Amino acid sequence: MKRLLLLTFIVLAGIPSAHAQFTFTSIDFPGGTLTTARGINNHGEIVGAYRLVPPRHAFLIKEHQFIPLAPTTILGSNYSEAFKSNDRGDVVGQLFGGDGFFHGFLLRKKGALATLDFPGASDTYAYGINESGTVVGDWDLLDANGNVLAFHGFTWKDGTFTEVNFPGSGDTAVLGINARGDLVGVWDSGVTSLIGHGFVCPRGRQCFSFDVPVAGATVTQADDINAHGEIVGVYLDANGVAHAFLVAGANFTPFDFSGATNTLAWGINSAGQIVGVYLAADGSRHGFLAQAAKKGKPQ
């Protein structure tokens, strides 16, 4: 399956589509040539990456200020991207090491930086963290030519990795975790498959797979889940174009940033604020913040 992870990216067939109105704000690092928004916590703090000149670097938006993360460390010198932060201010993401492989990272609020490497993996990617400090992501195995042979999900807590695979899958990536410990992500039957499915693993209950109710869609990827069980993600349509979606209760809502050629939703907090990435017509990449408009009172 073509991985959307670095587009740098119950069955829903019976769930009705909704057409909520969203208010959008574009997010652009001052003077930057690229900006991504990957996660938003319940304080409204946004994490992602910016680029002035290659490579990109992880950053935080807090109180309307753009803050490069640990700029005097490897995060500021090598390729790095933040994907999620919890309400304590801990941030996870990925960085490119001097060894030629990707590594997950955990940056504590107090400044301690740790790399996360699944035992025996070629690359490790950290995509989510919750309030208890559980980190989720995926790891892969590469052949001598750098081709992906397989990828598998994981959870990490207090130094211990646990592999996570959707039942019967060939490959699994865990992309989000909420405060309760519910997991979301994407799975497929093997790396050559052109079809990908979203999944949810509620804590203590059986995992289930889902596909967006859009004719011709080939990939459904669940990227985050908030404390209310609302899920955001991205799907590919029959033409290979990426669109964002929100699943809230019994409603499925696809949405796109106005004028964008591709839109990907990556994070959602308990207030329903959504962040993601869109590609403009000129090929430039930008972050966005979206929120469903509230219904006004009858006049």
The CATH code of the domain at 12-292 is 2.120.10.30
Rounded CA-CA distance 36/276 in Å is 7
C-alpha distance from residue 120 to each of 16, 123, 140, 143, 188 (Å): 43, 9, 9, 13, 22
Q: Tell me: the pLDDT tens digits for 253-274?
A: 999 999 999 999 999 999 999 9
Does position 177 have pLDDT exceeding 60, yes or no? yes
Q: C-alpha 224: how far from its chain's center?
A: 6
Neighbour-count burial of 181, counting CB atoms closer than 10 A to its CB (0-12 exposed, 13-18 middle, 19+ buried): middle
pTM of the model: 0.93
Q: Tell me: the pLDDT tens digits for 118-149?
A: 999 999 999 999 999 999 999 999 999 999 99
What confidence score (pLDDT) does residue 9 get? 37
Rounded CA-CA distance 240/248 in Å is 25
- Which neighbouring-strand residues pair with 162? 155
Closest CA to 46 of 57, 36, 34, 32: 36
Does position 17 have pLDDT exceeding 70, yes or no? no
CB 220, CB 243: distance < 8 Å: no
Rounded CA-CA distance 87/42 in Å is 6
Closest CA to 262 of 246, 282, 289, 248: 282
Domains of the chain, by residue range, sit at: 12-292
Task: Kindly indicate the confidence band of residue 6, based on its pLDDT and cuts at 50, 70 and 90.
Answer: very low
Q: Tell me: the pLDDT tens digits for 34-55?
A: 999 999 999 999 999 999 999 9
